[in-house]
Amino acid sequence: MGSADPTVADSTLALDAMAEKRFGLSRRDFMQFCATLATTLGLPAGAHAAVQQAVEKAKRPSVIWLHFQECTGCTESMLRAEHPTLERLILDVISLDYHETLFAAAGHQVEAARKAAMAANKGKYLLVIEGAIPTRDNGIYCKVGNKTAIELTRECAADAAAVIAIGSCASWGGMPSTDPNPTGAVGVNKIIDKPVVTIPGCPPNPYNFLATVVHFLTFGQLPPIDKLGRPLFAYSRLVHENCERRAHFDAGRFAIEFGDDGHRKGWCLYKLGCKGPETYANCPTALFGDAGAGTWPVGCGHPCIGCTEQGVGFAKPIHTLAKVKNVEPPVSYPGIVENQGKGVTVGAAAVLAAVAGAAAGATAVFSRKLGKSNEQASAEDGKPQDRTGRV
Ligand code: FSX
Ligand code: SF4
Ligand code: F3S
């Protein structure tokens, strides 16, 4: 439908062309993407317009990205072929001026590029750190360009506008800090005095990183964080609070062994060692898993291993029972005559999420996705299913 005002029509056409050319997205998909980011950030209705404007028009912030003790899974997770649009968006929203594993150049050339980018963007660049920092023996276990990770972190953080630790390794030590931690691996916040925004996960959800950067672009500051530096929009709720199997937990229906009847019916994975009850992350609402559309670890039938949570991921044995935090009775229990394996209903999901105090956006996303899955399943075989596809 055209606009009566030729100026508006012209600007809409210009924006269509921009979204198409710059992001390889239709205007509609681009707006949908901005709305999704605004919802991920828990912003009020209508805020997507500000997000859209910032993504389109704000100057791309210079990013210096350092790699220390890690597997490069954080970078892989953002750039893998399963979501090429995301890769394009990330690389278009930021100006990646130094990244060791993506640079074609090597040696002195890249060190010179890092220094040049830091000088040109003094006080304005974002420093992103991937990987833990070894502290034992003066940090000699990780050196780049003959500087230790400790020296590089301090040098690059000095003039950064903000520091983001991406992944559990950079956030709190992650896998390299696993007992007995031979290199004394720690997170970035143990090395510098500046505030550090942490985006834990092994690997972390790339949308949480992108949403954090887009918040910086939109509002000129990083999103609100908790005492561990985690953005509240992504890490203020336990996995358990929004889990699709939660009704089974509340009703005492557990899978006991992989492949048993309960496991096949989509029952709760607590007794298989699921760490959802003590792990803060938005995986169930963001459906982060990269194993196909709408999947996440618990949705695929594997217990959460607590990869985002210090003291849980890589620290507690996988099959050890989790400590159930924030124990509160649910407002409603599934009926005792309910057929087993049906999962939560759309209504129960919304109630559960609301009872757990989930953000309105998360509640809407959660119940909407359940609704979609149910609709799709009903259309496919004429019977209602739960989200795991089990009847
Ligand atoms: Fe790997 Fe990143 Fe895990 Fe660590 O992600 S996916 S080991 S969090 O630093 O590369
Ligand atoms: Fe979901 Fe795990 Fe909690 Fe069970 S224990 S409801 S599988 S998060
Ligand atoms: Fe990690 Fe658990 Fe999410 S294992 S990816 S925090 S479901």
Q: Is the peptide bond before 180 cis (omega within 30 degrees of 0)?
A: yes
**Long-range contacts of the stretch 219-223 (C-beta < 8 A, 24+):** 222/162, 222/164, 222/197, 223/41, 223/197
CA distance 103 to 85: 20
Residue 127 corresponds to which tokens in the numbers above? Answer: 């420093």
DSSP string across 190-212: GT-SS-EEEE--SSPPHHHHHHH
pTM tops 0.85, yes or no: no
Residue 296 Cβ inside 6 Å of ligand 2? The answer reads no
Contact yes or no for 384/342 (Cβ under 8 A): yes
Residue 70 Cβ inside 6 Å of ligand 1? The answer reads yes
Residue 71 Cβ inside 6 Å of ligand 1? The answer reads yes
**Ligand (nearest to CA of 71):** 1
CA proximity to 67, closest of 132, 147, 138 = 132
170 C-alpha vs ligand 2 centroid, how far in Å?
Answer: 27
Q: What is the CATH number of domain 61-217+226-233?
A: 3.40.50.700
Give the pLDDT score at 96: 87
Domain-wise residue ranges, the chain: 1-57, 61-217+226-233, 239-381
Give the pLDDT score at 125: 94
**Looking at ligand 1, which atom is closest to the CA of residue 72?**
10
**Ligand (nearest to CA of 170):** 1
CA proximity to 266, closest of 248, 242, 251, 243 = 248
**Residues belonging to the chain:** 391
Give the pLDDT score at 141: 97
Residue 202 Cβ inside 6 Å of ligand 1? The answer reads yes
Is-same-fold flag (61-217+226-233; 239-381)? Answer: no
**Would you identify the CATH topology of the domain 239-381?**
Cytochrome-c3 Hydrogenase; Chain A, domain 2 (4.10.480)
Mean pLDDT by 10 residues, the chain (391 residues): 49 60 74 81 80 81 94 87 68 85 84 93 96 98 95 98 97 97 98 96 92 89 94 95 93 96 96 97 86 80 97 94 80 54 38 32 35 33 34 26
DSSP string across 64-97: EEEE-BS-SHHHHHHH-TT-HHHHHHHHHHSEEE
Helix (H) / strand (E) containing 153 = helix 149-158
275 C-alpha vs ligand 2 centroid, how far in Å?
Answer: 7
Give the pLDDT score at 54: 81
Give the pLDDT score at 52: 83
In 3-state terms, what secondary structure has residue 318? Answer: coil
**Ligand (nearest to CA of 273):** 2
Give the pLDDT score at 372: 32
Residue 278 Cβ inside 6 Å of ligand 1? The answer reads no
**Ligand (nearest to CA of 173):** 1
276 C-alpha vs ligand 2 centroid, how far in Å?
Answer: 5
Other Cβ atoms within 10 Å of 67 Cβ, number: 21
**First CA to last CA across the chain, in angstroms?**
43
Give the pLDDT score at 356: 34
DSSP string across 297-337: TTTTT-----TTSTTTTTTS-TTSPPP--S----S----TT
- Of 68, 69, 71, the residue with max ligand 1 atoms within 8 A of its CB, to mutate for a pocket test, comes to 71
CA distance 217 to 206: 17
Give the pLDDT score at 360: 32
Residue 35 corresponds to which tokens in the numbers above? Answer: 């709305």
Give the pLDDT score at 199: 97
Phi (first) and psi of residue 297, to 5 degrees: -50, -55
